Structure 1
Amino acid sequence: MKRRALAAALLVFATAACGLDVNAALPFEVRPGSIRPVPELADVDITVGSKDFTEQIVLGYLAELALEAAGANAIDLTNISGSNSSRYALVDGQVDVQWEYTGTGWLSYLGNDKPIPEEKAQYEAVSKADLARNGIVWLPYSEVNNTYAFATTESYAAEHGLTTNSDMTRFLRQHPEEAVFCVETEFASRPDGMPGVRRTYGFDVTRTKTFGAGAIYSALAGGTCNFGEVFTTDGRIAGLHLRVLADDRKFFPQYNASVTLRKEFLDRYPQIADVMAPVSDALDNKEIIELNKQVDVDGRDPAKVARDWMIAKGFIN
């Protein structure tokens, strides 16, 4: 414990100038389950970072719990404000392990103009380019894909037989008066938002209402609009009984979550890849939506939500 306290104190000093807040350790004991202690990771200090929204914080805690079960000292640097700050913390060595999204890496960090439509191809492209250019390794991606989508209520979707954007398009051609959409202001005019998706699917819009991102979910549930722009893994989807319509023509970019590390750090501790693999494999959109819901809708602490999921999956005890 003295070693961990010293490491945390040094990290606080090192990150204070950057405005990053360190929470030295998990607030509870972690006992191994199917994730067993790894001798090479025993007492190794590993700093885990995340961005400052629910899903990222939950994913960060999942990584910390897995690493603690393997015997490492996980240092909590979750909840970093902004994607660019969290990315810099990883590249600069303030963070050792961090979940990232393939589309964000490809479009925002690597500066590409066009996404790659298929999940695997997008992952392979970003992992190859980021390693070559920045020395960042992307571990195999999970099925968590936090991309854009249209959603409606479960009852509305069931009444009109809607499961995909193509279903929505056919329905709106027959019932144009139903084409009332709630979207963010930026999404309404951005080429990779409403203008582009309308061209791809060929649907018309009778009325567009603009909201902040968080307000769209309640507007959908309350009947203010029939269709709305959402993020596919938001916990309010489950909490408000919304149905995400499948992007069957794959217009929206792919945002699969993957654990990222600096190559030099992974070369020192290659066992981290094996520790994180079962956690990544167990995650998909259904699982992460439920975890996000427990935080955003039910008001639970994200660390406890992550712990309970890891126990339920048998990864820890």
Structure 2
Amino acid sequence: MRVHRAAAAVLASIALLAGCGLESANTFTPEAQPGAIEPVADPGAELTVGTKNFTEALILGKIAAIALQVAGFEVVDRSGIPGAAPARAAMLDGEVEVQWEYTGTGWLNYLGMAEGIPDQQEQYEAVREADAANGLTWLPPAPLNNTYAFAVRSEAVPELGGIDSLSDIAELPVEERTFCVESEFATRGDGFEPMLEAYGIPLGDPQGVPRDNVSVLDTGAVYTATDDGACNFGEVFTTDGRIESLDLTVLEDDLGYFPAYNAAPVVLTEVLEENPEIADVFAQITPRLTDEVMIELNSRVDVGGEQPADVALDWLVSEGLVTRG
């Protein structure tokens, strides 16, 4: 069983953490007691768990931190790493040992592959195999697939001819092909412009999608603008709780353009080899995390204003995985 030897130095070096982008005010992890998850770690075994700083990542990170604590690990919680690049660097540098990641993100953003893989199992197997060379092990993913999608306000569906797929947009008059997207998706090599090409309505083409038909907004503003009718089609993430709360209808990606983005625990291979119990803990968690579950949990934070740590603990208790401390 591996005991993290650098723990004292890491904890003592707040300035270093800030410089690496790992400092966070969101490091409270509620106490819990065993349920289906029982203590398996050797005394003193320590793990550093990291998360990125958006709602779903924070919830998943708290689920991991609580579960691993109950399993007997001394968990150092590095919740709220600001962005994908610092989160990846933290793992490659060994400053974070366990972190949830998305298969499509690993494949496209981190490994630099040109195209994603829509089949969820194939995408997972590909990223797992490729990232092994970097000393990282991708454990089996959850069913939840937080991929990109486009949504329309539900009351507008009849007005737009009963639209239910992205291919249907090409059948609409050009003036109805209005979009709200966030800045990252607008510029990604696998993002908005190539998506429109794939669906036969190229950006900037008067017979496709004129540039004046596109509004680039902050992520939260995309949902609001779509709901308000400022645009017909808004870029969304498929497990975002605001889809349900705003009564938006997600259009089918009928050509399979978007890759799979299943969430999976990623562990430093060295750490996992010395602590194989980590995989056993996650094996009790990941099969339960579906799109429907994640939509509900995300909604409790983004719509209901609850804290990710409280939502994570409630879910683990409701599943019988842990009990309240």
**What is the TM-score of this pair, normalised by structure 2?**
0.86
Q: Does 1:243 align with 2:249?
A: yes
RMSD in angstroms over aligned alpha carbons? Answer: 2.6
In the other structure, the counterpart of 2:153 is 153
Aligned residue for 1:255, secondary structure, equals: coil
Aligned-residue sequence identity (percent) comes to 45
Q: 1:192 aligns with which of 190, 193, 197?
A: 190
Distance 2:252 2:279 in 1: 31
CA–CA distance in structure 1, aligned partners of residues 188 and 112 of structure 2: 17
1:186–1:43 Cα change, 3 Å: closer
Q: Compute the displacement of 1:181 (Å).
A: 1.6
Letter of the structure 2 residue corresponding to residue 29 of structure 1: E
Residues 82-130 of structure 1: CA deviation (Å, up to 9, x unaligned): 2121112222222111001111211222122222232111111111011
The verdict on how the C-alpha distance between 1:139 and 1:180 changes in structure 2, with shifts beyond 3 A counting, is: same
Mark the CA change 1:107 to 1:239 in structure 2 (over 3 Å): closer, same or farther.
Answer: same
SS of the residue 1:243 aligns to:
strand
Q: Aligned to 2:259, what secondary structure does the other structure show?
A: coil
Aligned position for 2:281: 275
* Structure 2: gaps spanning 5 or more residues: 202-207
Aligned residues, how many?
Answer: 309
Equivalent position of 1:183 in the other structure: 181
Deviation at 1:240, TM superposition (A): 1.6
Residue 222 and residue 111 in structure 1: after superposition, are their counterparts in 2 closer, same or farther (change >3 A)?
Answer: same
Matched-pair contact (CA < 8 Å) for 1:35–1:66: yes
- For the 8 Å contact 1:58–1:306, the answer to whether it is kept is yes
Give the aligned partner of residue 214 of structure 1: 220
CA separation of 1:15 and 1:312: change in aligned 2, threshold 3 A: same
Q: Which moved more, 1:236-245 or 1:282-291?
A: 236-245
Change in CA separation of 1:102 and 1:161 when aligned onto 2, cut-off 3 Å: same
Partner-residue secondary structure (3-state), 2:316:
helix
In 2: Cα distance, 1:87 partner to 1:190 partner:
18
Taking the TM superposition and a 5 Å limit, the aligned residue runs for 1:3-22 are 10-14=9-13, 16-19=15-18, 20-21=22-23
Q: 1:114-125 alignment to 2 at 5 Å?
A: 114-125=115-126
* Equivalent residues of 1:12, 1:22 under 8 A apart: no
Which residue does the alignment assign to 1:231?
237
Instruction: Tell me the SS of whatever aligns to 1:17.
Output: helix
**TM superposition shift of 1:147:** 1.8
User: What is the distance in 2 between the residues matched to 1:23 and 1:74?
Assistant: 16
Secondary structure at the aligned position of 2:231 is classed as coil
Partners in 1 of 2:256 and 2:74 — Cα distance? 41
- Distance of aligned partners of 1:108 and 1:71 in 2 relative to their CA distance in 1, 3 Å threshold: same
| Aligned residue type for 1:76 | D
Amino acid corresponding to residue 247 of structure 1 in structure 2: D
Q: CA deviation at 1:194?
A: 2.8
> 2:133 matched to 1:127?
no
Q: What do residues 237-283 of structure 1 show as CA deviations (whole Å, max 9, x unaligned)?
A: 22222222221211112221110011110000101101011211111
What is the CA-CA distance between 1:192 and the residue it aligns to?
A: 2.5
CA separation in 2, counterparts of 1:79 and 1:205? 37
Q: Which consecutive residues of structure 1, in runs of 5 or more, have no partner in the other structure?
A: none
Paired residues of 2:29 and 2:65 also in contact (CA < 8 A): no
**1:151 and 1:100 mapped to 2: Cα distance?**
24
| Alpha-carbon distance in 1 for matches of 2:256, 2:231 | 24
